[in-house]
Amino acid sequence: MFQSPPNVAKTIQITFEEKTYQVAPAQTVAAALMGEGHLMLRKSLVSGETRAAFCMMGICFDCLLEIDGQPNQQSCMIQVREGMNIQRQLKKGECA
């Protein structure tokens, strides 16, 4: 769905759902995951339908992920950090 640019230095290692990825720094978690082909980020609170980042500016709260053990993090607002561990929130009602 989105194509990462060629020739960027991917200097940061993150783990998403137990798999590791090398990604470029100075970008948000949601962007990094989209660059790796992960569009679907979570299931919705009520019906459990799949959701993905929608606004990329902290408005919609559709990009919530568990980051380093903390649930409900707005992944479009948080920059990737070396060694970050990221999990999807797949259970219904898991959101704040």
Partner 1 sequence: MSLPQYDYVIIGAGPAGMAAAVEARQHGLNVLVLDEQPAVGGQIYRNIEDLEEQRPDEFQKLGADYQEAFELAQRFRASGAEYRPGRSIWQIDPDLTLYHIGQDGGPSETCHAQRILIATGAMERPMPFPGWTLPGVLACTAADVLYKSSGLLPRGEIVLLGSGPLLLLIACRLLDAGVKIAAYLDTNPHLAPFQALPYLPKALRGHEYLRKGIAMLWQMFTSGAKVHLGVTGLEADGEGHLQKVRFQQGSAPWKELPADLLLLHHGVVPNIQITRQLGCEHTWYEKQRYWEPVLDQWGNTSIENVAVAGDSGRVCGSANSVLTGRLAALETARALGKIDLAQQTALAAPLLKKQDQELAIRPFLDTLFPPRHPWLVPKNEETLVCRCEEVRVREIRDAVRLGALSPDRVKPMVRCGMGPCQARMCGLTVSEIIADERQVSPADVGYFRVRSPIKPVTLGQLTGVE
The residues with which 8 forms a beta bridge, in sequence order, are none
The residues with which 43 forms a beta bridge, in sequence order, are 50
Phi/psi of residue 4, nearest 5 degrees: -75, 150
Contact by Cβ (8 Å): 24, 95: no
56 binds ligand FES (CB under 6 A): yes
Q: How far is the CB of 66 from partner 1 (least distance, A)?
A: 11
Token digits of residue 20 = 């590791």
Q: How far is the CB of 56 from partner 1 (least distance, A)?
A: 4
Residues found near partner 1 in the complex (CB under 8 A)? 1-5, 8, 24, 26-28, 31-32, 34-35, 39-41, 44-47, 49-62, 64, 67, 70, 72-74, 77-79, 95-96
